[in-house]
Structure 1
Amino acid sequence: MLSKKMISLLSEQVKNEFESAYLYLIAADYFHSEGLPGFASWYINHSKEEVEHAMIFYDYIHRNNERVQFFNLEPTRTIYSSLTKPLEDTIVHEDFITTCINQIYEVAAKEKDYRTTNFLTWFITEQQEEEENAHANMNKLNLFGNNPAGLYLLDKEMGNRYGKHNKGE
């Protein structure tokens, strides 16, 4: 049985994951406008991953015979003006998500909610990967982004990480 506090924290994480998806769509939109379809594809696919994460939390709450508490989404519409800013925002946001998941884990451990701590283990590992990817993307852009040929190749690499986001492409 999940405590009221745990239901609230897990529900809040559903919201956080949907906000992540929205943030990544904003970045994808920017990269499309800059003629960087590989970066856009990467962010679109990452947005889809974040929706999947939200649904995993949603399903977990329901598998424990509880109802999700819905909160208003509070995404901000960022207007990007540089290639590095979306990547910087990604790093900051992934750090935030890691902190949120760690806080949920801490509460679960304190409550001796072993089922939830076990559930969160996958997300802890996933967040390490998310942070590593965010930093790697920034490092590569810093290394190659000022060279048009380097940026072109990096855009191709970004697009190949997930494959095309749209079957029509």
Structure 2
Amino acid sequence: MLSTKMQDALNAHINAELWSAYLYLSMSLDASAKGYKGIANWYAIQFKEEQDHAQLFIDYVLARGGRIALSPIAEVPTEWESPLAMFRDTLAHEQKVTALIDGLCRIADEEKDFATANKLVWFVNEQVEEEENVRDILDQLNMVEGSKMGLYMIDKELGGRVYAAPAAE
């Protein structure tokens, strides 16, 4: 059984994951509107991943006998000045999500909720991967800044990303 504090924190995090999905959908749409089909693809996959992350949390709360309380999703930005600006915002956002996951870990520790602490390990590792992936793309974008051919090549590379549904162990 989840404590009220843990359940409330997990519900807030579900909202944050859905907000993340909404943000990445917005980024995908903006990239697509500007002709960056590969970047749009990368963000469309991020959109799906964030939805899946929310679902993993939902499934966990329900498995522990908890109750889901969905809240409205706050508005997200809808336009970015460049792919570089978009990925800078993405890294800042992923760092915020990492801090949120860390907060859940602290609550699980305080509550001596070992099952939740164990479940969160997958998400901690996922955040390390998410931040690393975005840093790699930012490094590439910074290397080619001002080069249309370089940006074209990065866009083509990101277009090759395929969706793989996450499965938390």
Q: What are the Cα deviations for residues 15-56 of structure 1, in whole angstroms up to 9, with x where unaligned?
A: 000100111111111111121100000000111000000000
Q: Is the contact between residue 22 and residue 76 of structure 2 (CA under 8 Å) also seen in structure 1?
A: no
Q: Which residue of 2 aligns with 1:143?
A: 143
Structure 1 segments (4+ residues) deviating >2 Å: 75-79
For structure 1, which segment, 99-108 or 79-88, has the greater mean C-alpha deviation from structure 2 after superposition? 79-88
Q: What are the Cα deviations for residues 119-164 of structure 1, in whole angstroms up to 9, with x where unaligned?
A: 000000000000111111111111124212211111111111227x
Q: Is the contact between residue 28 and residue 44 of structure 2 (CA under 8 Å) also seen in structure 1?
A: yes
Q: Which TM-score applies when normalising by structure 2?
A: 0.92
Residue 79 of structure 1 deviates from its aligned partner by: 2.3
The reply on whether 1:21 has 2:9 as its aligned counterpart is no
The total of aligned residue pairs comes to 163
Q: Which TM-score applies when normalising by structure 1?
A: 0.92
CA RMSD of aligned residues (A): 1.2
Gaps in structure 1 of 5+ consecutive residues: 164-169
The reply on whether 1:109 has 2:109 as its aligned counterpart is yes
Gaps in structure 2 of 5+ consecutive residues: 164-169
Q: Is the contact between residue 14 and residue 58 of structure 2 (CA under 8 Å) also seen in structure 1?
A: yes
Residue 101 of structure 1 deviates from its aligned partner by: 0.5
Q: Which residue of 2 aligns with 1:158?
A: 158
2:13 aligned partner, one-letter code: Q
